[in-house]
Amino acid sequence: MIYREYGQTGKKLSVVGFGGMRFGPDEDYGAQVVQRANSLGINYFDTAPFYCNDRSEDIFGKAFKNMPGQYYVSTKSNVGKESTADQVRWRIENSLKRMGIDKINFFHMWCIMDLNQYDRVMAKGGPYEGALKAKEEGLIDHLVFSTHCKGSDIRKIIEDDVFEGVLLGYNVVNHAFRQEGVQAALENKLGIVTMNPLGGGLIPQHQDYFSLLKEREDETVSQAALRFNAAQEGITVVLAGMGTIEEVEENVKIVDHPLTVSKEKVQEIRSKITESMDMLCTACGYCNKCPQKINIPTYMEAYNLSILKDDQETKHRLNWLREQEKIKEDDAKTDACVACGICEELCTQKLPIIERLKEMSLKY
């Protein structure tokens, strides 16, 4: 395993981190997966309340009873669920109890979507205050944040100098849009953990298209996507969701080869994915607050296919969704969009949703 310094915390974390959002129903097996990861050198374990139907922290608790090596724990609190200092205190104590640990090494103010939400986190008597007190009492090592904000907002939060690290979505598909946030963290010497390196499954689901990421015959597309993240300057940990021992073993293999991406490959990726093509929807669901009740992620995922293949493929997908009643007869259609802009403001990929819906309503 390769270990990297996390900001100025003095902690060295494994470049491959374990994301605890993909456990299956068998909790004992889930604990074995965690232990196997630790035995292969992974020392950064990320969980959150509500992951895996709220079982993730319990599964880590089982695993932590018998870990083969040293490890660090990351968990979270979201201002939407815990908006006061007292509620965050309760959350911290609950997470400690569920995982059977004395201290949370990295505690995230979870999923800050914009500066209004950040203000709520930092409000007097609010979440940050509760977490800071817990830190002063030794229940937390480091206060950090996770975000889907645009780069300039991430920079503003970082420059307030209240956090020691950041967790952000970053992958080969969206990296151009996310680069400013990475750069701000780098300049301010924060630790950087990247989530969603496989684009919410988009990359492994479209192996043909993304095979251009591979630089060696014996490398899988997913390994190449993880390597792409790990090769970026400033990134400490690439967080990969893992639910099986096979996934763990495949992911740790990326450290068997240099964690670099050649200049030619970067150029090829830029010209094929981030310049000559539109950005892709990663099905994260954050935009799903349409006042017209349009199921935006479903439509944007279908639109992906016209980028990855052709319009015909999108048409097939929409027909299939209708047959399966995933789009029902009386659901809001693409032409119900009134261009209010709410979804585009929320979109983690900053996609031109309004334009795409309009195009879809004309074509399909």
Calpha distance 308→206 (Å, rounded): 8
Calpha distance 247→288 (Å, rounded): 30
Q: Least distance to ligand SF4 from the beta carbon of 305, Å?
A: 13
> Of the two residues 40 and 281, which places its CB atom closer to ligand SF4 in the complex?
281
Can you say whether the dihedral through the CA atoms of 176, 182, 184, 186 is positive or negative? negative
Residue 121 identity: V
> Of the two residues 105 and 349, which places its CB atom closer to ligand SF4 in the complex?
349
CA atoms within 13 A on the CB side of 170: 31
Q: Could you tell me whether strands 140-147 and 104-112 are parallel, antiparallel, or unpaired per DSSP bridges?
A: parallel
Calpha distance 191→126 (Å, rounded): 24
Q: Least distance to ligand SF4 from the beta carbon of 300, Å?
A: 4
Q: Least distance to ligand SF4 from the beta carbon of 306, Å?
A: 14
- Residues near ligand SF4 (CB under 6 A): 281-287, 290-292, 294, 296-297, 300, 337-343, 346-349, 351, 353-354, 357
Q: Least distance to ligand SF4 from the beta carbon of 328, Å?
A: 17
Crossing angle, helix 296-308 and helix 311-323, to 10 degrees? 150
Q: Mapping DSSP to helix (H, G, I), strand (E, B) and coil, where does residue 252 land?
A: helix
> Of the two residues 289 and 316, which places its CB atom closer to ligand SF4 in the complex?
289
H helices present in 241-310, as ranges: 245-252, 263-269, 296-308
> Of the two residues 188 and 274, which places its CB atom closer to ligand SF4 in the complex?
274
Give the contacts of 260 (CB within 8 A, at least 6 positions apart): 227, 231
> Of the two residues 41 and 352, which places its CB atom closer to ligand SF4 in the complex?
352
> Of the two residues 249 and 335, which places its CB atom closer to ligand SF4 in the complex?
335
Q: Least distance to ligand SF4 from the beta carbon of 179, Å?
A: 17
Q: Least distance to ligand SF4 from the beta carbon of 362, Å?
A: 15
